[in-house]
């Protein structure tokens, strides 16, 4: 096919061919490119054109084939078999994780688990006019055992109070009423009149498999300070304890050595899983002083649960 003429970018106006005095075009005037003369060997020319047109397709086909063969060779299981994961590999990975990851201590785990269920209990009186007296008559601890606001504590914490106030872990305060007592085990059951929306009840665990040496934690408000945690071990089981005044004898108690002081009364004694195994009720001091010397007692949770009308484990 004949190629179209190409022209320069000259801006001179062209003169008509019939104009008199027309001058010959200068060096900047465009000229038509003459057509290519026909080949003297038409069949050879056609073959050369055919090969030129298909050379590019042939080249890409060869490249694609080579790429496919290369991919197959790398993915072949016979050429590069995958190494099986051994027990030594697993042990090494676990050891590396333990060496590089800081895990919370068992005590931290126990505290974080039980603390949403621990409450501060304050006993108040009334003045002569029957109005609330802001002076505290007792301070103790309680633990939520049902998420409807049912709380276990010691009877001696609330028995002389005319108004009982509880403070939940999130800071919410509410009055409460005594709904049940078990004097022989110094236990009282409270019902809070107002509770948090997301109140969490503690998990209770049977004491059947407890043994001396098991780690435990006492959580509460010693001397009103708290919440506080102290950690120790089970020192003994089925202990007897007589109150300092000699008015009451308690039996089948858990002896522990986690520090407890006035204000811890009614608080939970928990395992390292944060599960309640007892309610802290007394401390022993040969000098009749209200300070801890290393011997504390807790009522087993089986007795405490029965005070709330809950079935035993």
Name 236's bridge partners.
255
Whether the domain at 111-192 and the domain at 215-307 fall into the same CATH topology: yes
| Residues facing residue 241 across a β-bridge | 250
The H or E element containing residue 132 is: strand 132-146
CB count, 10 Å around CB of 97?
10
Q: For the chain, which residues make up each domain, given as ranges?
A: 111-192, 215-307
**Do residues 189 and 176 lie in contact, with contact meaning Cβ atoms separated by under 8 Å?**
no
Q: Checking phi first, is residue 263 left (phi over 0); if not, alpha (psi -120 to 50) or beta?
A: left
Question: How, if at all, do strands 276-283 and 268-270 pair?
Answer: antiparallel
Backbone angles phi, psi at 32, to 5 degrees: -70, 140
Supply the CATH classification number for the domain 111-192: 2.40.10.10
pLDDT tens across the length of the chain (313 residues): 444 444 344 444 444 444 444 444 444 444 444 544 554 545 555 555 655 555 666 666 666 666 766 666 655 555 556 678 888 888 888 888 878 887 788 999 999 999 999 999 999 987 776 666 666 788 999 999 999 999 999 999 999 899 999 999 999 999 999 999 999 999 999 999 999 999 999 999 999 999 999 999 999 999 999 899 999 999 999 999 987 766 788 999 999 999 999 999 999 999 999 999 999 999 988 777 778 999 999 999 998 878 777 766 5
CA-based nearest residue to 278, from 291, 269, 287, 286: 269
Rg for the chain, CA atoms, rounded: 46
User: Does this model's pTM top 0.85?
Assistant: no
The domain 215-307 is placed in CATH, from the list 3.50.50.60, 2.40.160.10, 2.40.10.10, 3.60.20.10, at 2.40.10.10
> Whole-angstrom Cα distance, residue 259 to residue 296?
8
Residue 55 has a pLDDT of 63
Residue 168 near residue 174 (C-beta atoms within 8 A)? yes
Catalytic residue positions, numbered: 156, 186, 265
Residue 91 pLDDT: 86
For residue 49, give the DSSP letter.
Answer: H
């Amino acid at each position: 096919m004949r190629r179209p003429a190409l022209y320069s970018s000259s801006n001179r106006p062209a003169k008509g061919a019939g104009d008199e005095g027309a001058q010959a075009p200068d060096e900047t005037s465009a000229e038509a490119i003459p057509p290519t003369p026909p080949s003297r060997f038409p069949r050879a020319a056609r073959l050369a054109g055919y090969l030129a047109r298909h050379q590019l397709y042939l080249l890409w086909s060869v490249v694609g084939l080579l790429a496919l063969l290369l991919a197959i060779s790398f993915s072949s299981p016979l050429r590069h078999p995958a190494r099986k994961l051994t027990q030594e590999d697993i042990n090494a990975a676990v050891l590396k994780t333990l060496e590089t990851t800081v895990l919370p201590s068992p005590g931290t785990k126990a505290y974080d688990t039980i603390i949403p269920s621990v409450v501060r209990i304050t006993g108040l009186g009334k003045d002569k006019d029957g109005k609330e007296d802001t002076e505290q008559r007792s301070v103790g601890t309680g633990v939520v055992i049902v998420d409807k606001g049912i709380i276990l504590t010691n009877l001696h914490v609330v028995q002389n109070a005319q108004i009982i106030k509880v403070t939940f872990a999130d800071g919410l305060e509410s009055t409460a009423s005594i709904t049940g007592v078990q004097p022989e085990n110094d236990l009282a059951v409270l019902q809070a009149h107002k509770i948090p929306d997301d109140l969490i009840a503690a998990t209770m665990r049977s004491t059947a498999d407890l043994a001396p040496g098991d780690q435990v934690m006492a959580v509460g408000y010693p001397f009103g300070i708290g919440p506080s945690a102290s950690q120790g071990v089970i020192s003994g089981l089925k202990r007897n304890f007589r109150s300092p005044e000699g008015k009451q004898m308690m039996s089948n108690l858990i002896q522990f050595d986690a520090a407890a002081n006035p204000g811890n009364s009614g608080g939970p004694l928990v395992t390292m899983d944060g599960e309640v195994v007892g309610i802290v009720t007394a401390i022993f001091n040969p000098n009749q002083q209200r300070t801890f010397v290393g011997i504390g007692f807790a009522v087993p949770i089986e007795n405490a649960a029965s005070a709330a009308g809950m079935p035993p484990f």
